[in-house]
Amino acid sequence: MFLEERQAKILEMLNRDGKVLVKELAEIFGVTEDSIRKDLSSLELDGKLKRTYGGAVSLAEKLQMTEAHKRRISDVEAKRRIAAEAVKLMRQQDLIFLDISTISIAIAQLLERTETPYKILTNMIDVVVTLARNPKINLFFAGGQINHSRDGFVDGLNLEFMSSFRPDVSFVGLSGVDILRNSLTSRDTTVGLHKAKVLELCKTNYIIAESRKFGVESTYRFATLEKVNGIITDSKLSDELIQAAEKLNVKIISAE
């Protein structure tokens, strides 16, 4: 196979899967890993991909990863306040699910040195890495096929694993919550379907969301507010929104 043909195939695989690995490409094309690295370097210079450790990602995937990083470093203080309120709702006898969310990272950081033997189930890598340092935490990791841009697992394998559990309490992040329209939304359909399944599996559900996400409807509506017991946010909502939530039997917890 000519060099140009191999690089065209690499781009085809990249566009399909979002990422490629040097070792796998070397085996597929029957060439050395060094040859593949040169291919990836050439394609990166042409502006067709972004090299990563051990492989490369598509430019669209790189954009998602950049956006995920931006979410991590935004509204840090608000996320910490929400996390503190979430921890107050935890009981050591409960199995607690922490969703893929930057607020879940803040929750994990608060629990990193706790002496309380909480039981935690999560599908987020950052949460696992943080809580694994604490021997007091009884930790369950719901794995599957990794979604690099979201640092966790939301695929079919993960849902199959999750279906064996009945968590007592969940803390679920999202892209938008519109109380007046009775709408909980996500940017991504796969992520939204995963969150909807979590709300079905768990006995008590709390949405964790910064106040800037209120009144927002994102791409995919995965649930209505009847599916949740409460919403934890960082500042007081208007009386209109609080009353609308009460009519839906949803408690608003403001971490002011």
Q: What is the pLDDT of residues 91-114, one digit of tens each?
A: 999 999 999 999 999 999 999 999
Q: Report domain 74-254's class.
A: alpha beta
Strand blocks (E) in 87-219: 95-98, 119-122, 138-141, 146-147, 152-153, 169-172, 176-178, 183-186, 204-208
Q: Hey, which CATH number is domain 3-70, 2.40.50.140, 1.10.10.10, 3.40.50.20, 3.40.50.720?
A: 1.10.10.10
pLDDT at 69 over 80: no
Q: Which among 173, 205, 182, 2 is positioned nearest to 82, based on CA atoms?
A: 173
Burial group, residue 44, by CB count within 10 angstroms (0-12, 13-18, 19+): middle
* In the chain, domain spans: 3-70, 74-254
**Beta bridge partner(s), residue 214:** 177
Entry pTM:
0.72
Give the percent of the chain with pLDDT over 70.
92
pLDDT tens, position by position, 184-226: 999 889 899 999 999 999 999 999 999 999 999 999 999 999 9
